[in-house]
């Protein structure tokens, strides 16, 4: 794998292309500094184009958000999303074990941020009020996941 993370999109694109074509690298990751170039990176074979501007915007959005749900990142050509859900007092998931929650298809809980602690959820992990749940899900499953963790909207 090669990750091209310079401050210049042209350099990152060429690095990824050379890695694949000249050196037979199977997977490339390319940092995109100008969001207008994301389509070009995808079309020219970069496996994982990472838009640094979008990531910074999502971090800012997360820090100033009053929402219970923030889409942190989309990838795999816009088919998967990493989302953060803050569990409110009236969440139907509060005091339930992870194994008791039926997640939408193709969804998984990745981590729970509880205060200063990061928890990798297991089946017997109990969700608590104020937990920040990080989940991986298909883009179309976000509303079901939100309803499951936050309740009726």
Share of the chain above pLDDT 70, in %: 84
For residue 10, pLDDT over 90 is answered with yes
Cα angle 87, 50, 54; round to 5: 55
Alpha-carbon distance of 79 to 121, in angstroms, equals: 23
For residue 87, pLDDT over 60 is answered with yes
Residues across the chain: 153
Domains of the chain in sequence order = 2-54 (3.40.50.720), 66-150 (3.30.70.1450)
Q: pLDDT category, 78, cuts 50, 70, 90?
A: low
pLDDT 10s digits, 143-152? 888 888 888 6
Structure tokens at 42: 């995808």
What mean pLDDT is predicted for residues 74-103? 84
Would strands 108-114 and 132-138 be described as parallel, antiparallel, or unpaired?
antiparallel
Closest Cα partner for 82 from 45, 40, 47, 54? 54
What mean pLDDT is predicted for residues 57-63? 62
Residue 145 CA: distances (Å) to CA of 21, 48, 68, 120, 137 = 40, 25, 12, 18, 8
Global pTM value: 0.53
Q: pLDDT category, 66, cuts 50, 70, 90?
A: very low
Q: 61 vs 124, which has greater pLDDT?
A: 124
């Amino acid at each position: 794998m090669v990750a091209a993370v310079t401050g210049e999109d042209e350099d990152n694109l060429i690095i990824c292309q050379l890695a694949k074509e000249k050196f037979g690298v199977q997977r490339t990751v390319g940092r995109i500094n100008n969001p207008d170039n994301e389509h070009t990176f995808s079309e020219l074979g970069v496996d994982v184009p990472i838009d640094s501007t979008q990531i910074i915007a999502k971090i800012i959005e997360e820090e100033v958000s009053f929402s219970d749900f923030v889409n942190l990142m989309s990838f795999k050509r816009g088919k998967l999303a990493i989302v953060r859900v803050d569990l409110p007092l009236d969440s139907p998931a509060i005091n339930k074990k992870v194994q008791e929650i039926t997640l939408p298809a193709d969804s998984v809980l990745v981590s729970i941020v509880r205060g200063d602690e990061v928890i990798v959820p297991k089946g017997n992990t109990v969700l608590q009020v104020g937990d920040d749940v990080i989940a991986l899900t298909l883009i179309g499953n976000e509303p079901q996941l939100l309803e499951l963790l936050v309740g009726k909207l």
